C-alpha cells in the first residue's frame, strides 16, 4: 500500500525532469548514484525518506506493524491486547519500537553518504563538467597559484611573514584522483600565510568572561558551534596570543576523537583563541576559504589523506602534516560555480534531514500513544 504525505508530493514535483535544472552526479560508484537519486530522480527513495512523516501515516504504520504480530499480541478494535505472557509482551513491544527507529537511522545514514558523494563529485570537477564546456577561456588555476606565491613573497620581503622551507613537490603516489585540465594540485601550506596551533597551559587562564576560547568539541560537526562556550583572560604578552582567531581562518582538529574535523570562522570575534588541540590556518587569499573547507571535509579527499598521516594508539596530526596535505585547486571562477551548486544540493539535504528528524521525534511520541492505548485497562 502506498503511503503519501505532503512532503512526498512536494518532493515528487521538485524531482520531475521538467521542473529541475539541478546538476546530476556522474560518479561510477553505484552506491553514490543511488544516494544522489534520493534527491533528484527516485520516487521510491523519496517515499523512503518521507516515511513516516505525518501523523495519520505513522498511526497506520504503527497499527499495521502491530497487526503483523502473532495473535498473542494482536490488537482488537479497541486496541487492547489479548492475554499473553509478560516476557512475550516485552519482546513484541521492543519490535514495535525498533523497526521505525531502524528505518529512520537508515535514512540518516543514506543522507550522510549522499553529502559525501556530492562533495566528492565537487572536488573532482565532475559537478561542473558542463560549466567548463561552456567557459573554456577562464584563467587556469596555475595563474591563481602564481598570484598567491607572489603575495607570499611580498609579505616575506616586508617581514610580515617569516621565510619558510620550500614544500616538496607532490608525487604521483600522493594524488588520490584525477582532476580536470586547468586545475592544479598544491600543498595546503603553499596556500597559507600562517599555520600554527594553540599553546599549552590554558587552564591557568580560564575565566567566566573574557576572550572566547575555541576547543575541539566546538568544531566536531565541521562547523563552528558555540553553544558550549569557554572563556580565557589572557595577559597581553602571553605566548598564546599567537593563536588568535580571525575571520576566514580555517580550524582543523589535530588530536582526539574529532581528528581532522574542520571549520571555517565565518564571524568577526572581538577576541578569540584556539586550544592546543586545534591547528589554526590562515590563507593568503581568504576568498578561497569556502572551497578549501569543502575539500578538507571530503572523506576520500584531503581528509582521508590527513587521517592516513595519523598513526599509533593515540591519533594525532602535527603541523607539517597540515602543511603537506595535497589540495585540488580549480580556477577561481569555477570555484564560485562549484560552491553555488554544492550549496543548492546541501540545502535540499538539510530539508530532508529536517523531515527525518521530525519523523523520528513524532514516531517516538506516536509509539507512546499507541502503547498507552493498547495497554489501557478495559472499561
Q: SS3 sequence, 36-55?
A: HHHHHCCHHHHHHHHCCCCH
Whether 227 and 240 have beta carbons less than 8 Å apart is answered as no
What are the residue ranges of CATH 3.90.220.20 in the chain?
142-329
What value does the mean pLDDT of the chain take? 80
Tell me the whole-structure pTM to 2 decimals: 0.73
CA distances 212 to 11, 151, 232, Å, are 42, 31, 7
pLDDT digit string, tens, across residues 307-322: 999 977 778 999 999 9
- Beta bridge pairs of residue 195: 281
Burial class from Cβ neighbours inside 10 Å (0-12, 13-18, 19+) for residue 133 reads exposed
The rounded percent of the chain whose pLDDT value lies above 90 is 55
Contacts of 167 (CB under 8 A, 6+ apart): 187, 189, 190, 323, 324
Cell numbers found for residue 110: 543514506
Q: How many CB atoms lie within 10 A of CB 11?
A: 23
CA distances 25 to 58, 110, 115, 365, Å, are 33, 15, 11, 37
- Beta bridge pairs of residue 272: 212
What's the confidence (pLDDT) of residue 236? 75
Residue matched to cell numbers 616586508: 158
Whether 349 and 114 have beta carbons less than 8 Å apart is answered as yes
Of 3.40.50.2300, 3.20.20.70, 3.90.220.20, 3.40.30.10, the CATH number of 142-329 is: 3.90.220.20
What's the confidence (pLDDT) of residue 99? 60
The yes-or-no verdict on residue 7 having pLDDT over 50 is: no
pLDDT digit string, tens, across residues 147-160: 999 999 999 999 99
CA distance 25 to 43: 17
Contacts of 86 (CB under 8 A, 6+ apart): none
Name the phi and psi angles at 229, rounded to 5.
-90, 150
Name the phi and psi angles at 276, rounded to 5.
-70, -10
Does residue 204 or residue 373 have the better pLDDT? 204
Amino acid at each position: 500500500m502506498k503511503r503519501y504525505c505532503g512532503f512526498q508530493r512536494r518532493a515528487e514535483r521538485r524531482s520531475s525532469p521538467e521542473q529541475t535544472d539541478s546538476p546530476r552526479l556522474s560518479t561510477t560508484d553505484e552506491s553514490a548514484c543511488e544516494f544522489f537519486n534520493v534527491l533528484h530522480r527516485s520516487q521510491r527513495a523519496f517515499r523512503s525518506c518521507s516515511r513516516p512523516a505525518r501523523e495519520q501515516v505513522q498511526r497506520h504504520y504503527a497499527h499495521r506493524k502491530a497487526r503483523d504480530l502473532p495473535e498473542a499480541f494482536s490488537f482488537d478494535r479497541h486496541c487492547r491486547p489479548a492475554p499473553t505472557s509478560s516476557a512475550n509482551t516485552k519482546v513484541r513491544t521492543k519490535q514495535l519500537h525498533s523497526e521505525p527507529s531502524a528505518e529512520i537511522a537508515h535514512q540518516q545514514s543514506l543522507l550522510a553518504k549522499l553529502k559525501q558523494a556530492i562533495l566528492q563529485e565537487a572536488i573532482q570537477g565532475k559537478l561542473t563538467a558542463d560549466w567548463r564546456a561552456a567557459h573554456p577561456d577562464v584563467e587556469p588555476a596555475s595563474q591563481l597559484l602564481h598570484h598567491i606565491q607572489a603575495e607570499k613573497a611580498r609579505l616575506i620581503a616586508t617581514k610580515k611573514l617569516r621565510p619558510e622551507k620550500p614544500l616538496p613537490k607532490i608525487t604521483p603516489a600522493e594524488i588520490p584522483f584525477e582532476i580536470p585540465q586547468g586545475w592544479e594540485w598544491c600543498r595546503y601550506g603553499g596556500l597559507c600565510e600562517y599555520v600554527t596551533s594553540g599553546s599549552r597551559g590554558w587552564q591557568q587562564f580560564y575565566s567566566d568572561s573574557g576572550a572566547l576560547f575555541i576547543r575541539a568539541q566546538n568544531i566536531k560537526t565541521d562547523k563552528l558551534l558555540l553553544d558550549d562556550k569557554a572563556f580565557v583572560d589572557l595577559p597581553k604578552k602571553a605566548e598564546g596570543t599567537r593563536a588568535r582567531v580571525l575571520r576566514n581562518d580555517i580550524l582543523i582538529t589535530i588530536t582526539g576523537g574529532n581528528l581532522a574535523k574542520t571549520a571555517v570562522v565565518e564571524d568577526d570575534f572581538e577576541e578569540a583563541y584556539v586550544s592546543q588541540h586545534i591547528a589554526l590556518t590562515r590563507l593568503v587569499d581568504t576568498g578561497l576559504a569556502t572551497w578549501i573547507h569543502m575539500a578538507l571535509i571530503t572523506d576520500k579527499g584531503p581528509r582521508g589523506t590527513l587521517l592516513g598521516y595519523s598513526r599509533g594508539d593515540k591519533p594525532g596530526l602535527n603541523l607539517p602534516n597540515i602543511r603537506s596535505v595535497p589540495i585540488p585547486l580549480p580556477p577561481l571562477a569555477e570555484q564560485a560555480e562549484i560552491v553555488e551548486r554544492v550549496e543548492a544540493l546541501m540545502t535540499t539535504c538539510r530539508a530532508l534531514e529536517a523531515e527525518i528528524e521530525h519523523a523520528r521525534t513524532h514516531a517516538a511520541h506516536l509509539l507512546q500513544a499507541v502503547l498507552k492505548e493498547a495497554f489501557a485497562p478495559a472499561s
